[in-house]
Amino acid sequence: MSSDPSTRSRGARALAETAYASLLRAVGDRRRDLLLIGGLVPEHLVESDEPHQGTNDVDVLIDIGLVYDRDDLDFAWLEHALLAAGFVTATPNTGWRWLLDVGGFPVLVEFLVDVPDNIDQEVALPGCSVLGAKNLRGPGPALRDVHATQIDGEQAPITGLGGYVAAKGASAYWRRADKDLYDFAWVLVADLRSGSPRAADAVLTVLEPVSERDRADAVVAVCDLFTSADATGARAYSELSTAAGSAEPPESHALDAVVAVSAFRAAVAGHIDELRSRA
């Protein structure tokens, strides 16, 4: 296990699962209101011979709806559960990032929403004195594709393949973070290698290309970062695959990403164009 808790690794992933399981036990039946997204998710969606880099944090998506629908919401139960499980805020003035010490390693849990108001700002959660959520563009489609999995022995709602790829693709396009580009490509490479790729069809079930043009366009546009082995996305996938311990040469990873993302783009973009031509 890496001694550096800031490093994405297999050991860090295990710590993150332990931390999240502690929160799940504390919230009890209210776990249905917490959706796991982010770096803990890929290995629950696809099988692969290639190691995933892992993660050193936990991303939790919350559905708070539109601003005029929030008066009846109360997330005091979540704030109380965090405190009961031993979490503390990551910094005094940030309510959306919480830390739990697991065997001497701090694990970060981040609470996210995706709503039209206050983009890229922290949103106060009703009923809470400290707890908030960071409003990000991109992860919303994950809420339309919810499944169950086990996290360190605890049942947990998790986004499915369509929700994950749609959310990760949009977020990767808007944020351009290497870890997002890597996770996006890792899932698509594994999906294509399965021999029965499902990602494109799954994404099209959670995106509405006409009414949600910006999201659909972002998922297609992020694919343009994988057009060659030297493109930004392909390089990120190659570098982080090597860092994850893959025995394959870096150039092979880059080409794998180009092929898998290209196939995904062709399937998704063609369907989007067809739907929009009918609208």
Same domain? 22 vs 83: yes
Same domain? 206 vs 270: yes
Q: What pLDDT digit, counting tens, does each position of 149-164 carry?
A: 999 999 999 999 999 9
- pLDDT value of position 9: 75
- When the pLDDT of each residue in the chain is averaged and rounded to a whole number, the result is 92
What average pLDDT score do residues 173-186 get? 95
Report the number of distinct structural domains present in the chain: 2
Q: Where among 159, 186, 205 does a domain terminate?
A: 159
Same domain? 42 vs 171: no
Q: What pLDDT digit, counting tens, does each position of 206-255 carry?
A: 998 888 899 999 999 999 999 999 999 999 999 999 999 999 999 999 99
At position 152, the amino acid (one-letter code) is D
| Domain membership of residue 145 as a residue range | 1-159
Same domain? 154 vs 168: no
Same domain? 16 vs 142: yes
- pLDDT value of position 70: 61
- pLDDT value of position 78: 97
Same domain? 152 vs 60: yes
Same domain? 197 vs 131: no
Same domain? 173 vs 97: no
Where does the chain show beta strands of DSSP type E? Answer: 35-37, 57-61, 88-91, 94-102, 105-113, 122-124, 132-135, 146-151, 154-159
Same domain? 78 vs 175: no
Same domain? 121 vs 164: no
Same domain? 20 vs 120: yes
Q: What pLDDT digit, counting tens, does each position of 69-93 carry?
A: 666 788 999 999 999 999 999 987 7
Query: Taking 50 as the threshold, does the pLDDT of residue 4 lie above it?
Result: no
Rounded Cα gap, residues 278 and 213, in angstroms? 14
C-alpha closest to that of 2 among 40, 53, 47: 53
Same domain? 236 vs 103: no
Q: What pLDDT digit, counting tens, does each position of 28-69 carry?
A: 999 999 999 998 999 999 999 999 988 889 999 998 876 556
3-state DSSP call for residue 97?
strand
Element (H, E) at 175: helix 161-175
Query: Taking 80 as the threshold, does the pLDDT of residue 5 lie above it?
Result: no
Q: Where among 129, 159, 189 does a domain terminate?
A: 159
Q: Where among 144, 159, 174 does a domain terminate?
A: 159
Q: Which two tokens stand for residue 70?
A: 């929030």
Query: Taking 80 as the threshold, does the pLDDT of residue 130 lie above it?
Result: yes
Confidence of residue 201 (pLDDT cuts 50, 70, 90): very high
